[in-house]
Amino acid sequence: MTQKNDLASLFATAIRRERDAAIFYQQIMERVANPAAKAVFAQLVKDENEHERFLEKCQVEPSLLADIDPHWDCHLATATDLPPLSIDMKPADAIALAMKKEQEAVDFYRMLAAKSADGKTKVLFNGLAKMELSHKNQLESVFTAIGYPEVF
Amino acid sequence: MSHATPKHHEATMMIDGKVCPVNPGKTVLEVARENGIDIPSLCYHRKTGPAATCRVCVVEVEKMRGLQAACSLPAGSGMVVKTNSKPVLEARRCVVELMLVNGQHNCMSCERNGNCELQDVAYDLGIESPSYVASDLIEPVDESAEMVALDRRKCIKCGRCIAACGNVVVNEVLDFGRRGSQARIVCDDNLKMGDSSCVQCGECSQMCPVGAIIDKKSRGKGRGFKLEQVDTTCPYCGVGCQMTLHVDRRANRVVRVTGREVVPNDGMLCVKGRYGFEFHASPKRLRHPMIKKNGKHVRVSWDEALDYTAERIKAIVDKHGPDVFSAFGSGRITNENNYAVSKFTRAVIRTNNVDHCARTCHAPTVAGLATAFGSGAATNSIDEILETDVMFVIGSNMTEAHPVVSYFVKRAAKNGATLIVSDPRKIDLARWSSLYVQHRVGTDVPYLNGLIHEIFKNGWQNDEFMRTCTENPDDIRRWVQDYPVEKASELCGVPVPTMREVARLLGTAKNVSVLYTLGITEHICGTDNVKAIANLQMVLGHLGKRGGGVNPLRGQNNVQGACDMGALPNVYHNYQPVDDLRVAEKMAKDWGVPTLSLKPGYKMPTMLHKATTGGTKALFCVGDNTVQTEPHMAKTIKEIQALEFFVAVDIFPTITTEYADVILPDVCFNEDDGTYSNLERRVQRLRKAVEPPGEARPTWWIMQQLGERFGVDLRFTSAQGVWEDMRRTSTSMAGITYPRLDGLGIQWPCPTLEHPGTPILHLGGKFTRGKGLFCRTEYRPQAEPPDADYPFILSTGRRLWHYHTGTQTRNSVGLEAMFPEELMEINPQDAAKMGVKTGDMVAATSRRGTITLKAWVTNRSAVGVCWTSFHFFEACGNVLTIDAYDDVTETPEYKACAIKISKVSDGTAPNACIERQARP
């Protein structure tokens, strides 16, 4: 296989992951009872669809990935327990689930980058990891805003 | 100091041969200092800005005629500046020598020796003695004020104190009087400082570059360079001002307090924070454990006190079950000590009956905002006040209760922001307002609903925010239909045109910050009042952005932290619910106990009430002067007397400790390490500065010792150890550690070590609960309206000079002298009818008791309304207040009950300066 074909295959995998994630969130959205959680999952479906479109653009112009610079990682996804899937999920559970999945994606692409001997492939995987990290950061910001209710 | 490195595309200037980057809006002096080049200046200060009066900062600039004042000269690209050329040094020397001869600058006896900016400049210039002949200045030092002395002989007329007083703390007392060489600093219309409206905040003293304005308390008590400096957090109010204690270690005492120029207070303090520190060394402090024997408190050893306490509690709990035990944490004590009380109560006794004094003040805030937003804390930070367009202050006497926040508000108003003050009492802040609105006591709901109605009527609501960020936008529009301004006006007493104007100001503003305090919460409808404020801000859409928000000003220094630490009956620390099995199992596992109770505990009023019915038999009370702070004092005393066993942990003997079976001496704010959380959710450090008196011990140590006597090791070995114990099962504070707090405080949520903290909640309209929830609020009149027998409404609150039950402020020299006795504020029309004048003794009687105190006839209170505080046990407002409660939170209605007033005798007017300082 040529290097060009390799990269196309990698993009296809990445795009499929985003599509699968959108389907996953759609399925949960249809089942959860809490309207606010439903809205969050609906937004997550939209987000994943946007990510998919972004990757399609990157396929044509891979340098777009290089422009992503998530300058920090607060490791909130790692520190948060994976919420169990249930119809009683609340908005914070939805975000927690999503940021855990983004963390998985970051780890996945970083592992592939580490194992990759080819320079261009490594750069691509690192770019994808950064992209997922920036998604995770956004979700972690949301979780920080909604994940710690103060009750009396 | 940071040394900026210029990038090739930046504008630069040359100072003393060094290339320095130039940022727009900077002066030459600022650019020089940013680049490590010192230009002395006596009039300029970062907080007061350029004044260009002292001329010490003169520099030579190429292509400019004459020497230039660096503090006021805008830096420009390509400028070439010399700061130490011969002409510059000669001019600077001349200026400094003139200053030296025009004052009596005797460094040997001056309080500022070693900490004097004039002395530093003279030293740097090598001036041993001035070349000119000194003038004879015969001007007595103004010693008339309690805390600050004004020595005009040392004044260099730089004007920094005037700028600080007028533009930083915005008290507007100091100014220049007379002209030319006779110019001098004056207070008000050339009054002595002690007779003026000066509130003794001490900002002038901190900003004075020489020894002209000094703190009287520290005079002669130690040279600055011989004192150890300990950074800590102020023990008064919820602002959480950062301060430095100047400590004489050998004498084991604090000598001076200065504000730190960091968030949240930027160096500013109030009279209590700066001068109310001596209580720590008061001979009245509790020093030893005591047990009541034959009706008298007798000194015992710690072992005897702890053994006895443990035995009595164990016997009661064994016989009646754990729920007859209750504990009070406190908004005064540290986070660590509140956590220790909570953990002891839950893990050792196995009950959730723990609560604290947030119940008596801001519980409705948390209940109301948590319902509307999902989080009950202040949404924004104090410094954002300076960025807002309209400040809507309702039910907050902040110049007295939260003075440092009021400095920000007054400064913003002075800088052009609109300030609306709504308060049944014409408080001092009204002087700075664009619009003062006097609504009737307890009518906040109709007032706010009327405003919302008017906002809808004019289409000023933020439809986009309501649609995207709230759950039920159509409901609020429907609910307020019952409150057109005409009807609301009848209920709240605000004229219709005024209501329309308030609605217009709020509805057309780019950004609105709502600030409120206990005037909102201490009503039977307190939670509804808070919900009405939340409704207003969600209608306007001013949430989740800088300079907006709903900002309750928490009262006590650590009342936010006491909540955060789980000194509440329904939640563990960080608001983890006690009735959530997963949470309980997590806690039990970490604490090493088999199970924890899933049943939420009693709230404070219920705990006390149950004492008279046998439901509460043992009460462990930490840092709470319950008898003086709860409403209806006679009832509270009966309840405490009905207890089988009562333990009080405190720093001073109080009216409450009198009833204790055991008294345990606690340490105070500067005698142990720890943390407080301020009203912005900012966790900040306390640091040990002095040794505690006698055998006083921290509460966490007491809880550890008691736990061991129950066979439970709570694992408390130090304040930091307690914090780490809490942090292990923490959620929103898991990222906050002592080393991280060595810099600035951190605002929670801060869930990981890498997380920077969260200054603004609900950013972008994303609420903690998902979407914001509008809540229906309806007008409910006060529980006890005035009638023919008790024709006046009594409202209660706080004074500037005192704090809560006075245990700290009445044991600090000077504060008591400034406000030595409690007064009953009576409107002049009412006073005239009764033949009462200021200073006369009056009896104030409610259906629950009578107090006798001096009258203060003042327009601050409306006709038919009287006002007093609960600071003085000799004439405590809580003898009169009613035990009627907010039905959601059990917060008492301190702000409204019915009383009658009768004149007892003629009397003498109180300290005249009180009236001027309060400025009715």
Q: Do B673 and B235 meet the contact criterion of CB atoms below 8 Å apart? A: no
pLDDT tens for residues B867-916? 999 999 999 999 999 999 999 999 999 999 999 999 999 998 887 666 66
- A151–B376: do the CB atoms touch at under 8 Å? yes
Q: What percent of chain B has pLDDT over 70?
A: 98
Tokens of B908: 């003498």
Whether residue A1 has pLDDT greater than 70:
no
Cα(B432)–Cα(B585) distance, integer angstroms? 54
- For residue range B282-329, list pLDDT tens digits in order: 999 999 999 999 999 999 999 999 999 999 999 999 999 999 999 999
Nearest to A140 by CA among A81, A104, A95, A85: A95
Shortest Cα–Cα distance, B753 to chain A (Å)? 7
B761 → closest Cβ in A72, A76, A145: A145
Give the integer Cα–Cα distance in Å for B691 and B670. Answer: 8
Cα B448 to Cα B388, B490, B897, distances in angstroms: 20, 13, 22
Write the ipTM: 0.90
Q: Are strands B253-259 and B242-248 parallel, antiparallel or unpaired?
A: antiparallel
Integer distance in angstroms from the first to the last C-alpha of chain B? 45
Output the pLDDT for position B1: 38
Of A36, A74, A90, the CB nearest to B771: A36
Q: Give the position of tokens 């074909």.
A: A5
The B-side interface with A (CB below 8 A) comprises 358, 363, 366-367, 369-370, 374-377, 471, 563, 568, 570-571, 574-575, 577, 731-732, 734-735, 748-749, 751-756, 758, 761-763, 766-771, 889
Kindly determine whether residue A151 and residue B571, on different chains, have CB atoms separated by under 8 Å: yes
**Element holding B444 (H helix, E strand):** helix B444-457
Angle subtended by helix axes B363-372 and B526-540, to nearest 10: 40
Residue found by looking up tokens 């795009």 in the block: A15
Min distance B552 CA to chain A CA atoms (Å): 14
Name the residue of chain A whose CA is nearest to B565's CA: A150
- Sign (positive or negative) of CA dihedral A130, A133, A137, A142: positive
Please give, one letter per residue, the 3-state secondary structure of B456-512.
Answer: HHCCCCCHHHHHHHECCHHHHHHHHHHCCHHHHHHHHCCCHHHHHHHHHHHHCCCCE
Q: Which of B554, B560, B583, B769 is the best residue to mutate to test the A interface, defined by the most A CB atoms within 10 Å of its own CB? A: B769
Closest residue, chain B, to A95 (C-alpha): B770
Interface of A with B (CB under 8 A): 34-37, 39-40, 72-76, 78-80, 90-91, 141-142, 144-152
Contact B749 A144 (CB under 8 A): yes
Say if CB B579 and CB B590 are below 8 A apart.
no
Nearest Cα of chain B lies from the Cα of A74 at a distance, in angstroms, of 5
Residues 6+ apart with CB under 8 A from B135: B101, B102
The contacts of residue B794 (CB under 8 Å, 6+ apart) are: B844, B846, B865, B866, B867, B868, B877, B880, B881, B896, B897, B898, B899
Chain B residues in contact with A72 (beta carbon < 8 A):
754
Distance from the Cα of B471 to chain A's closest Cα (Å) equals 8
What is the per-residue pLDDT for A11? 87
Cα atoms in the Cβ-side hemisphere of radius 13 Å centred on B310: 19
CB B673 within 8 Å of CB B688: yes
Q: Which residue of B has its CA nearest to A146?
A: B768
pLDDT digits 0-9 by tens, B567-611: 999 999 999 999 999 999 999 999 999 999 999 999 999 999 999
> Residue A6 — very low, low, confident or very high, per pLDDT cuts 50/70/90?
confident
What residues in B contact A73, CB-CB < 8 Å?
754
Tell me which residue has tokens 């990157």. Answer: A58
DSSP string, B12-37: EEEETTEEEE--TT-BHHHHHHHTT-
Question: Which of A34, A88, A138, A151 should be substituted to probe chain B, the one whose Cβ sees the most B Cβ atoms within 10 Å?
Answer: A151
Using a CB-CB distance cutoff of 8 angstroms, which residues of chain A are in contact with residue B755? 74, 76, 144
Taking an 8 Å cut-off on Cβ atoms, the answer to whether A150 and B731 are in contact is no
pLDDT top residue among B18 and B50: B18
Residue A2 neighbours by CB distance under 10 Å: 7
- Which DSSP letter does residue B346 get? I
Hey, how many other C-beta atoms are within 10 angstroms of the C-beta on B179? 7
Percent of chain B clearing pLDDT 90 (strictly above): 91
CA distances B737 to B222, B334, B436, B761, B845, Å, are: 34, 15, 44, 21, 51
Closest-CA residue of B relative to A37 is B770
Closest CA to B374 of A36, A87, A81, A123: A36
Query: Nearest 5°: CA angle at B438, between B433 and B444?
Result: 110
The three-point CA angle B433-B438-B441 to 5° equals 135
Question: How many other C-beta atoms lie within 10 A of the C-beta of residue B645?
Answer: 20
Of A40, A148, A151, Cβ closest to residue B732: A148
Residue of B nearest to A79 (CA): B752
**Shortest alpha-carbon distance between residue A1 and chain B (Å):** 42
Chain B residues lying within 8 Å of A74, measured CB to CB: 735, 751-752, 754-756
Q: Which residue of B has its CA nearest to A76?
A: B752
Q: What torsion, rounded to 10 degrees, do the Cα atoms B410, B416, B417, B423 define?
A: 50
Distance of residue B117 Cα from the nearest chain A Cα, in angstroms: 42
CA distance B328 to B344: 11
What per-residue confidence (pLDDT) applies to B373? 93
C-alpha angle B409/B415/B420, rounded to 5°? 45
Query: How confident is the model at residue B864, as a pLDDT?
Result: 98
pLDDT at B3: 47
Long-range contacts of B599-602 (CB under 8 A, 24+ apart): B599/B323, B599/B352, B600/B352, B600/B569, B600/B570, B601/B323, B601/B326, B601/B351, B601/B352, B601/B353, B601/B354, B601/B355, B601/B569, B601/B570, B602/B323, B602/B326, B602/B353, B602/B355, B602/B569
| Nearest chain A residue (CA) to B470 | A36
Sign, CA torsion B543/B548/B552/B554: positive
In B, which residues are within 8 Å of A36 by CB distance?
471, 769-771
What is the predicted pLDDT for the residue at A34? 86
Q: What is the mean pLDDT of residues B554-573?
A: 96
Give the pLDDT of residue B498.
98
- Is the Cβ–Cβ distance between B114 and B226 less than 8 Å? no
Give the chain A residue nearest B769 (alpha carbons): A146
Query: CA of B757 to nearest chain A CA: how many angstroms apart?
Result: 9
Distance from CA of B235 to the nearest CA of A (A): 24
Q: How confident is the model at residue B180 (pLDDT cuts 50, 70, 90)?
A: confident
What's at B62, amino acid-wise?
Answer: E
B320-353 tens-digit pLDDT = 999 999 999 999 999 999 999 999 999 999 999 9
A76: nearest CB among B568, B574, B755:
B755
pLDDT band at B519; cut points 50, 70, 90: very high
Question: Closest approach of chain A CAs to the CA of B895, in angstroms?
Answer: 22
Phi then psi for residue B355, to 5 deg, are -155, 180
Per DSSP, B849 falls in state: E
d(C-alpha B913, C-alpha B818), whole Å: 8
Coil, strand or helix: which one is B696?
Answer: coil
Contact B563 A152 (CB under 8 A): yes
- Give A66→chain B minimum CA distance, Å: 24
Judge whether B458 and B474 are in contact, CB under 8 Å: no
- Identify all chain A residues contacting B379, using CB atoms and an 8 Å cutoff: none
State residue B881's pLDDT score.
Answer: 98
Query: Which pLDDT score is estimated for B9?
Result: 55
CB contact under 8 A, A148 and B731: yes
Q: Do B767 and A146 touch (CB under 8 A)?
A: yes
Question: Structure tokens of B773?
Answer: 């929830």
Mean pLDDT of chain B: 95
> With 90 as the cut, is the pLDDT of residue B136 above it?
no
Contacts of A90 in chain B (CB under 8 A): 770
Closest Cβ–Cβ partner in A72, A144, A152 for B751: A144
A79: chain B residues, CB-CB within 8 Å: 734, 751-752
* 8 A C-beta contact, residue B613 and residue B644: no
Give A122-150 pLDDT, tens digit per residue: 988 899 999 999 999 989 998 998 888 87
What is the sign, positive or negative, of the torsion defined by CA atoms of B129, B135, B136, B139? Answer: negative
A150 to B377: CB separation less than 8 angstroms, yes or no: yes
The three-class DSSP label of residue B339 is helix
Question: In this predicted model, what pLDDT tens digit does every residue of A76-96 receive, in sequence order?
Answer: 999 999 999 999 998 889 999
Least confident of B101-110, B111-120, B240-249: B101-110
CB contact under 8 A, B752 and A79: yes
CA dist A41 and B103 (Å) reads 73
- What's residue A4's pLDDT? 59
- Which residues in B lie closer than 8 A to residue A151 (C-beta atoms)? 366, 370, 376, 570-571, 575, 577
